[in-house]
Amino acid sequence: MKLLSWNVNGIRAVHKKNAILPLLNKEKPDIFCIQEIKAEQSQIPDELKNIEGYFLFVESAKNKKGYSGVALYTREKPENIRNDFESKKFGDEGRIQIAKYKNFYLYNIYFPNGKQSAERLKYKLNFYEEFLKDVNKIKKQGGKIIICGDVNTAHKEIDLARPKENEDVSGFLPEEREFLDKFLECGYIDTFRMFNSEGGNYTWWDLKSGARARNVGWRIDYFYISENLKSKLKKAFILKDVMGSDHCPIGIIIDI
C-alpha cells in the first residue's frame, strides 16, 4: 500500500498550478492525505471531487472560511472517520481526520503553528498532548496506527538547514522538540529516519526568501507508524521535486 501526504497551502491554488492530478496519475497512491486545503467541500473544483477510483472526505474549519482544513482521498472506504480527539476540544479548526480501516487507523493531521502568539503556541502544545492521548488509547488496545501530516516542528538539528538561528522560533523550540521526543518514546517511529539519516532532506521552504532554490528548508511533514507496523514498512520518501506549494509531498510504502 502506498500513502502520500501533502500540505498543499490551498487546494484551489495548487490545482490551478496543475499539481494534484499529475501527482495522483504518476504515483497512484492508495491513500492521499492533504492538509491546509483552505476550502469547504463545495469550493473544491469538480475535477478534484470526482477522481475515478477514490472516495473523498473533507473536513473544513467551522467558523473561519479559507483557513486550515484537511482532505482524504482513499481507494478503500474507511469504516468510519472522526474529526476530533476524544476530548472534543479541537474540532473547530478542521485539522483532524481519524479514519478507521479494517486493519489499521489513519491520522491525517494539520498540526497548529505556534508562531503567531504565545496563545497560539499554548494551543499548539495542548493540541499535541490531546493528540498523544488519543493515539495512545488506540495503541494500548493493540491498534495499528499510521500518522501523517504537517507537524509544524522540526525534531532534530538535522531536520532544518539553520538550527542555531531558529532556536527561539516556534517550530524548533525546546518544548516543541521535547514533545516529539516524548511521542517517539511512547512507541512511534519516524518512518523517513528508518531509511535515511542524512541532513539536507526538507519538506518546507520559505517562499518569500526563495529558500527552495537554495534548499534552506525544514523537515516538518512526517509519516509516523506504531511500532507494531515496523516490520511492515518497506519504504519512506520525500518527493522534493513536486512543486505547487511551499511544502512538498512525502510518502511511505507499507504492507498492511
Q: How many CA atoms lie within 13 A of 151 on its CB side?
A: 28
Residues of the chain with pLDDT > 70, as a percent, come to 100
Average pLDDT, the chain: 97
Grid coordinates belonging to 151:
507537524
pLDDT at 156: 98
pLDDT above 90: residue 83 = yes
Point out the catalytic residue in the list 150, 190, 221, 246: 150
pLDDT at 64: 87
pLDDT at 240: 98
pLDDT above 90: residue 65 = no
Question: What is the identity of the amino acid at 148?
Answer: C
Question: What is the identity of the amino acid at 29?
Answer: P
What do you get for the CA distance between the two ends of the chain, in Å?
7
Band (pLDDT 50/70/90 cuts) for residue 250 is: very high
pLDDT above 90: residue 248 = yes
pLDDT at 244: 97
The verdict on whether 46 is a catalytic residue reads no
Distance CA 38, CA 61 (A): 8
pLDDT at 63: 85
H-state helical runs in the chain: 11-16, 20-27, 46-49, 118-140, 174-185, 191-195, 211-214
pLDDT at 107: 99
* Mean pLDDT along residues 74-87: 97
- Considering the domain delimited by 2-254, tell me its CATH architecture: 4-Layer Sandwich (3.60)
123: left (phi over 0), alpha (psi -120 to 50) or beta: alpha
Grid coordinates belonging to 85:
480527539
In the numeric block, the cell 491554488 is attached to 13
